Structure 1
Amino acid sequence: MSFNSLGLSDALLKAISKKGYTTPSPIQQKAIPPILEGKDVLASAQTGTGKTAGFTLPILQILAQGKHLSQRPIRALILTPTRELAAQILANIKEYGEFLDIRSTVIFGGVNQNPQVAQLRQGIDILVATPGRLIDLQNQGLISLSKVEILVLDEADRMLDMGFLRDIERIMKVLPPKRQNLMFSATFSRDIKKLAMGILNKPVQVEATPENTTVEAIVQKVYPCAKEKKTELIIKLITEGNWQQILVFTRTKQGANKLTESMISAGIKAAAIHGNKGQGARTKALAGFKNGSLTALVATDIAARGLDIPLLPHVVNFELPNIPEDYVHRIGRTGRAGASGEAISLFSPDETTFLRDIEKLVGLRLPIENIAGFEPDPKASTQPIKQGQGRPQRSSNPRKSSTDNSSRSGNNSFGPRRPNQNNDRR
């Protein structure tokens, strides 16, 4: 199948060709036609499957073919959980919309709002936003969503994990009831299906890959390791293996900082990326990692969500995630585009429950390899880590469902909120 067969316009096909693409990915093949037909869509697709183009291409076509109003009200709203993912979606829109008269911009927290407001005042067709900053500007009367024709919830499962449910519900109340709705999620969990029922109208359901499966091209290994020796082991693996690019996952922001400092002390060029880092520092760290000036990027799950890092050779779980689906998200960042990749997990006895949950989810026993001198004490406790040392399971209060989020005040309707709430949930 080619892009020409999907019903896309000549302007979009020209932009696609310029990027060097000829064949649509599975999610693009399945999602683009029903979106062009104006149907609501519920799609299961992980980062790296081409899902962003799966919704940006048809949205650009729909808006380009529609009636242009002189004031250019916001006609398409794309909600996404993190700043980095929002910026990447905007870049995608601008690349594919190069030959169209479509204006787009992005808004997120952590930076001065004035340049964003100035862009909005010039008239915008497509707005990419994180929920926190969108609600702030709505409260200030600086943005109107009354003309939105298309709504996209991207990384919907992660938005629920991050406690955005109430924000999403508040945003829904100010959108026109008649609109096209698109929801993209890595999984079709019970919570996602419940959210979809309240937003989507007779949706077409599409899946790019089987739910919660791991990539065949990824070599997965588990190294048992005494908890206090994990830092020493990862430094050994990087230096002796001469690894040039490695993405490392920790459960907490504090853990990411501590590991990064140890790596730097050992002569490894490393940086941490998490919710407490300013946007400038996060952008600099990601750029350095991509251009090769940094060897290791140490990240929390939420901060790394949606990061587009092509041909990543190594992913290391310095700590196993206590939400098994996060393991799939983590290791899925390697082994892309036909390239092989390696996913290594450093496993301490107190993570036994996490390992079993992961193996149950992915449907296989992960191969275990011992490295002399780092094995844990066979008598060490296998009791799980205490709550608070890692990201907790979803709680009944969605605003407190992740340790990578700073607290935010909130209520059930648009209204005044405390200022200076620059955190990763924007």
Structure 2
Amino acid sequence: MTFSSLGLAPALLNAITETGYSTPTAIQTAAIPPALRGADVLGQAQTGSGKTAAFALPLLNALLAAGRPASGTRKLYALVLAPTRELAAQVGETLRGLASHLPVPVKVSVAFGGVSINPQMMALRGGADIMVATPGRLLDLVDHNALKLDGASVLVLDEADKLLDMGFADEIARIMALLPARRQNLFFSATFPPAVQALAGKLLHEPVRVATQDVEEHTPDITQRAIEVDQAQRTSLLRILIKEEKWRQVLVFVATKYASEHVADKLRRGGVEAEAFHGDFSQGARTSVLNDFREGKLKVLVATDVAARGIDIAQLPVVVNYDLPRSPADYTHRIGRTGRAGASGLAVSFIAPDAEQHFRLIEKRQNVRVPRERLPGFEPTAEAKSLPPGANDGTGGIKGKRKSKKDKLREAAAKSPAN
């Protein structure tokens, strides 16, 4: 299969060649033709599968066919929603890179929180053809009258599962109310939990579904390891693995901002170049750290899930789950940072005794079994305990098992003397 067989305009095919794309991936082959026809698309797209181009190329093809004015006010054609600033920036970079080789001018604007809104408002003077944004900052721009959504023809939800998991459901509902009822919807998600399925049911009209088989054909070559170790020994074990196994670059996932700083500091004291990466970083600091990591100046990046979303590091060899993720879906996203674009990768998980049950749940949902390892000098001193459903497993709990606010209020009311 070639890009020329997908129905793209000749000028866009030239841009594809200039940008360095060779052959379409499975998600691109499946999603681009129906998107070009104007159909709604529901695509399951794992990290590294090429999903950005799967929606970027149809958007640019439509703008190319319509022709764009060289100057003057532009009417918004497409809105792309992304869960994090890193992913929004990455999508914007892809769109701009392709658009730079087109014979007609296409204006792509990118907006996200954590930085001043003023430059983003200035960039929207004269409008934009494509708007890439995180939900909260998009609504800020609308509230400042910097952008109107009522004329958009296409809505793209990129990594929809993470948009909902990060608590953007209310913002998405507000945005939907501002968009025209008649529009094309392109909906991409790595996983399809019930909340994502419900949202797809509301938004999409007779969508073309990209078969799961297409995702499986491009399953990354990722070796998974699970090492049993006490929590107190994890940093020492990480340092030894980095040095003895000669890992040139490692993305380490932790549960909290504090852990990000703490682990990075201990690694530096042990002679390993490491930096923390979490949501409290300014945009300038985030960009600087990511650039150092991409360029190989930094060996280890210790990140939280929210901060790491959207990170795209070519040929990243190793991912470490220092803390296990709360959900199996997050596990999929984490290990998908490695083994991209045909390369092989390694995903290592540290399994403390009180986290064994939670990892078994992850294995069950992933339909895999990862052999447990015990390394000399780091054998756990306690044995794994069988925990009842919903019990705290030492990793922040199993997603979906925490008491809701309503449950807590009912318990408090039941204990009240009035009852």
TM-score normalized with structure 1 length: 0.88
Q: Identity of counterpart residues, as a percentage?
A: 47
Question: Residues 385, 224 of structure 1: CA spacing in aligned structure 2 closer, same or farther, 3 A cutoff?
Answer: farther
Q: Which residue of 2 aligns with 1:229?
A: 233
Partner of 1:21: 21
Higher alpha-carbon deviation: 239-248 or 226-235: 239-248
Contact persistence 2:228–2:380 (CA under 8 A): yes
User: Is 1:12 aligned to 2:18, yes or no?
Assistant: no
Question: Which residue of structure 2 aligns with residue 242 of structure 1?
Answer: 246
Q: Which of 179, 188, 199 is the aligned partner of 1:175? A: 179
Equivalent pairs counted in the alignment come to 399
Deviation for aligned residue 1:312: 1.0
Work out which of the two has the higher radius of gyration on C-alpha atoms and give 1 or 2.
2
Please tell me whether residue 75 in structure 1 is matched to residue 77 in structure 2: yes
The change in CA–CA distance for 1:182 and 1:391 in structure 2 (over 3 A counts) is farther
Change (3 A) 1:13 1:216: closer
Deviation by residue 1:126-156 (Cα, 9 ceiling, x = unmatched): 0000001111121222221121010001100
Distance (whole Å) between structure 2 residues aligned to residue 45 and residue 166 of structure 1: 24
Aligned to 1:116: 120
CA shift at 1:392, angstroms?
6.6
Alignment of 1:203-352 (within 5 A): 203-207=207-211, 209=213, 215=219, 217-352=221-356
Tell me which residue corresponds to 2:88: 86
1:258 CA displacement: 0.9
Partners of 2:39 and 2:294 in 1: CA distance:
37
Pair 1:250–1:117, CA change in 2 (3 A)? same
Q: Equivalents in 2 of 1:392, 1:224: separation in Å?
A: 19
Q: Distance in 1 between matches of 2:2 and 2:217?
A: 26
SS of residue paired to 1:121: coil
Pair 1:129–1:398, CA change in 2 (3 A): farther
Whole-Å separation in 2 of the counterparts to 1:328 and 1:212: 13
CA contact (8 A) 2:357 2:393 kept: no
Q: Structure with the greater relative contact order (CA < 8 A, sep ≥ 6): 1 or 2? A: 1
Q: Does the 8 A contact of 1:49 with 1:208 survive in 2?
A: no
- Describe the shift of the 1:385–1:348 C-alpha distance in structure 2 as closer, same or farther (beyond 3 A): farther
Query: What's the CA shift for 1:241?
Result: 2.0
- Assess if the C-alpha contact under 8 Å between 1:351 and 1:382 holds in 2: no
The amino acid across from 1:277 in the alignment is: F
Find the counterpart in structure 2 of residue 353 from structure 1: 357
Cross-structure match for 1:54: 54
Q: Is the CA contact (8 Å cut-off) linking 1:163 and 1:398 kept in structure 2?
A: no
Q: What TM-score do the two structures reach when normalised by structure 2? A: 0.90
Between Structure 1 and Structure 2, which shows a larger proportion of helix residues? 2
Gaps of 5+ in 1: 400-426
1:390 paired to 2:411: no
The CA distance in 2 between the partners of 1:314 and 1:337, in whole Å, is 15
Runs of 4+ that moved beyond 3 A:
67-70, 207-216, 378-389, 394-399
